[in-house]
Structure formats: C-alpha cells, structure tokens
Amino acid sequence: MFYWFLKLIALGPLLKLVFRPQTEGVDHVPEDGPAILACNHLSYADWLFMPLTLPRRVTFVAKAEYFTTPGLKGWLQKQFFSGSGQVPIDRSGADAAAGALMSAKKVLGEGGLFGIYPEGTRSHDGRLYRGKTGVARLALETGVPVIPIAVIGTDVVAPPGKKFGSITRPMVRFGKPLDFSRYEGMENDRYILRSITDEIMYEIMRLSGQEYVDKYATQAKEESKRLEADAKAKAQSAAESAAEQKKAS
C-alpha cells in the first residue's frame, strides 16, 4: 500500500511535475505476469524514474541491513525501502549473490516484475560496463523473459558523488523482451551465462547509446581511484620539489 501511496500520491506526481520523464517502448512490458527488467545504472535516481514510468509495481533487492537496523531510524528506513518496492536479500543463501537470486525468484514466482542492474553498481563515468552473469542465471532458472532498459539523463539529475544535480527530462527506453528458452537446462554452463549476459548488455548499449567497456564497473572504479591518487601524489611531490628549489635559491 505504501508503494502506491509514494508512486501515485506523494513522490510520483512531484517527480513527474518537476522532471517530466519521457518513455519509449513501454508496451514491451507485459500487463501481467513475471519479467526481468535489466537496466543500466547511471545514478541512484534510476530506481525512482524507471518504475515511475510503468503502471505495475517493480521490485528490486536491497541490502538486508536496510530492513534490520534497530530503533526508530531503522523502522523508518525499513518502511521506506519496503514501501518503495525493495525487498531484502535472502540471507539463507550461501552468500549475497545467492541470497539476491533467491529473493528475485520469489518475486518472479509470484508473477511480479523484478528490476536488476547487471553492472552491479553505478557507472562512475557514464559508460556502460560489463554485466555480471546473475541476470542470465535468473532468466534460465525461472524461464521468464528479460526486458532490456536504458535510462538516460538520470546522471544529470543526480550525478555520482554529488547530492544535487540539474533539472533535465530523463528518458526511459524499454527494449523488446529477450527469450532465452533455447538455453533451458544450461544454467550451470558459464559460457552460456556469459553469452546471454553479453546479449543483454548489447541491447542496453543499443538503447542507451553509451560507450561500452569490457570490464566490470567495480574494477574500473578502483583503477580510476588509483590513477587519481597517483596523480595527486605526483602533483604534491612536484609542488614540494618546487618549494625546496625556491627555498634553496
């Protein structure tokens, strides 16, 4: 109930009024029945704008800590995340990835729409990164279609690393459903999982127009941080050397 209150009464109308999000291909999303919504990830605002464009509820998984924090703050946090369409990762699995898979299968088993970001984390530079194969395993184990989705402009609304951005009209593009039933029973073949994931990412790239980078986003972020740290260290060293030379002269 709180989900629809936020979407239809509280938060949704305000977002539509201010940002006027645009959509393409909404008819590719079934009116009922399960489907996996595989989306690129530019900003924390993605999970607001993509579901806002659909008449159905979209569910994502979130860290279990968001639902188990004690006290009033924890209770409010739990109410917000559960009410905004998020479910905790099922920790009865062997690890977080297995727990997320179990939670997702439950949503799909009940005929719902499950949202997933195959990149695993937000892009730090606007490029599209290599997808993780969890989306492929989920598709094969459940037998439901995957709908590729591209969000465009959310990194302007809420840029990574900043609290506020600029007003723009985000675009949400829905691609045609992808059917992987031809690979039924092959969910343990890592080459098949990689092939399916790459096909999904190609469709997202085509819809978004992003430059594709064949490495994981987490790896790229770490490399970017190292390069930034090295550049700062070199600049500081050069400044200290210049100061010493000036002092000596």
Beta carbons within 8 Å of 215's beta carbon, 6+ residues apart: 129, 130
Q: Pseudo-torsion of CA 226, 227, 231, 233, nearest 10°?
A: 20
* Same structural domain, 116 and 181: yes
Q: Is residue 249 domain-resident? A: yes
Q: Is residue 149 part of a domain?
A: yes
Same domain, 150 and 234: no
Higher pLDDT: 74 or 31? It is 31
Note the pLDDT of residue 90: 63
Each residue of 169-222: pLDDT tens digit?
Answer: 999 999 999 999 999 999 999 999 999 999 999 999 999 999 999 999 999 989
Same domain, 106 and 227: no
Of the pLDDT bands very low, low, confident and very high (cuts 50, 70, 90), residue 4 is low
> Are 52 and 17 in contact, with CB atoms under 8 Å apart?
no
Which pair of tokens denotes residue 117? Answer: 């970001």
147 is in which domain, residue-wise?
A: 19-60+92-215
Are 243 and 172 in a shared domain? no
Which of 7-11, 34-38, 57-61 is modeled with the greatest confidence? 34-38
Regarding whether 239 and 227 lie in a shared domain, the answer is: yes
Tell me: do 45 and 105 sit in the same domain: yes
Q: At 167, which CATH number? A: 3.40.1130.10
Instruction: Output the pLDDT for position 199.
Output: 98
Dist. CA 89–CA 103, nearest whole Å: 6
139 is a domain residue: yes
What share of the chain in percent tops pLDDT 90? 57
Measure Cα distances from 17 to 21, 56, 248 in Å: 9, 20, 63
Q: Is the same domain home to 139 and 100?
A: yes
Between CA 60 and CA 176, with CA 132 as vertex, the angle to 5 degrees is 65
In this predicted structure, what is the pLDDT of residue 91? Answer: 57
Identify whether 98 is part of a domain: yes
Both tokens assigned to 34:
């399960």
Residue 201: inside a domain: yes
The total number of structural domains that make up the chain: 2
